[in-house]
Amino acid sequence: MGLAPYGDPAPYRELFEQFYELSANGGYRVHLDRIGPALLRNIEIRRKGMPFTQQHRDVSASLQEALERIVFHILRHHREATGMKRLCLAGGVAHNCTMNGKLLYSGLFEDIFVQPASHDAGCALGAALIVSNEMGRPAPRERLQEVYWGPDLGSDRAVEQELNAWSGHLEVERSYDVASSAAHWITNGNGAVIGWVQGRSEFGPRALGNRSILADPRPAANKDRINAMVKKREGYRPFAPSVLEEDASEFFDLPDGKHEFPFMNFVVRVRDSKRALLGAITHVDGTARLQTVSRDANPAYWEVINAFKKRTGTPILLNTSFNNNAEPIVDTVADAIATFLTTELDGLVVGPFLVKKRAATLQDWTALAISLPPSVSLHQTRAYTARDHQETVCEIIPNH
């Protein structure tokens, strides 16, 4: 999905057409026995860690095209057979935001809803809805607006106590205008890249403003910078924008009447006039995986984006999930602290608290009075310091 725009589907189109067939009734068949042998004969094997070649990019583009042909074939048939004008999508394939975006712009349906946890985890939601209905308490039939259903951070006092337990390693300051403080960090100097942790965590695979890493969406260099700091992922994978819902159409070329994209499920077109401005979130094909943010659904996140807008004129933040490349998205305060200390993030905001790293002394490390989470461990090594002699250096290192 992310690699496909770098490729051309034409060189392998005929090859991929041998792997599936479409039937007149909206069905399809995939010939699994043909795929492996054909790819081994025609495609150079890429080992882990090796760079992607143009051939690999073209294969990705061909696979994306084949997926879209099959899905459009199914949906056109059922659209004509049923006359239904609204579409709901779920299942793992529904996380293919590029495909969803093409469905959106096709006009095939008047309205499209994609379940925000379309993968297997969404089965929990389905099971809960069934049981609720069987117990005589059916869920209201209304459009889903937010999925902040995970554990809450707890009271400000509890959060502060947990942060202060790391006082040898963290500087903690309470802000009475945390949105403005965070926006100041992001816009000041070289522009901080920060962790942003508020309220209840998100249900599903996307960080939607409560367990996020935030940065300035304008400098294209922020893509490589964030990858080097924390994400350590493939360079072709784009970062997403979160935009104030009321300003979305100014920056993104949206279909008429469509302005709500709260779950980051659709790839949309960045307006030609804004692509140079939004270098960190505009993909190679001029698109972005959009999240719109309404004040009603997430007031705290709306406020920090609005504070950034007041400083820059841009009502958008780069938003990526708050995790490294080996662990899931942070959930608790302890998770956020551990990930913050084991990455190169510039700052952390947890509830109303602004957190920076402190140069801990050896005494601070050895007196560490808290239990580290299972995902990290404490290491002591001998290393050369700025004074050009060896000292004992302590590090918290992820266990992966």
What are the two backbone dihedrals, phi and then psi, of residue 141, each rounded to the nearest 5 degrees?
-85, 85
388, pLDDT greater than 70? no
Please report which confidence band the pLDDT of residue 190 belongs to, taking 50, 70 and 90 as the band edges. Answer: confident
Boundaries of every domain in the chain = 1-81, 85-144, 156-357, 362-398
- The pLDDT tens digits for 302-336 are 999 999 999 999 999 999 999 988 889 999 999 99
Compute CA distances 296 → 242, 268, 288, whole Å. 15, 23, 24
Alpha helices in the chain (DSSP H): 13-17, 32-42, 54-82, 97-106, 122-134, 156-164, 178-187, 221-226, 248-251, 299-312, 333-341, 362-366
pLDDT of residue 49: 83
pTM of the model as a whole: 0.90
- Alpha-carbon distance of 359 to 314, in angstroms, equals 34
pLDDT in tens, 65-91: 999 999 999 999 999 999 999 999 999
Given the DSSP bridges, would you call strands 347-350 and 194-197 parallel, antiparallel or unpaired? parallel
Mean pLDDT for 366-392 is: 57
Q: Is the model's pLDDT at 97 over the cut of 90?
A: yes
52 backbone φψ class: left, alpha, beta (φ>0; ψ -120 to 50): beta
Instruction: Return the amino acid letter for 177.
Output: D
Pair type for strands 20-22 and 252-253: unpaired
Confidence bin at 386 (pLDDT 50/70/90): very low
Helix (H) or strand (E) holding 87: strand 86-89
Average of per-residue pLDDT across 148-168: 95
**Strand 194-197 to 211-215 pairing:** antiparallel
So what's the pLDDT on residue 372?
Answer: 63
Quick one: what percent of the chain has pLDDT higher than 90? 80
Question: CATH assignment of 156-357?
Answer: 3.90.870.20
Task: Please give the pLDDT value at position 359.
Answer: 80
Mean pLDDT of the chain: 92
252 near 269, Cβ under 8 Å? yes
pLDDT on residue 387: 47
The per-residue pLDDT for 28 is 98
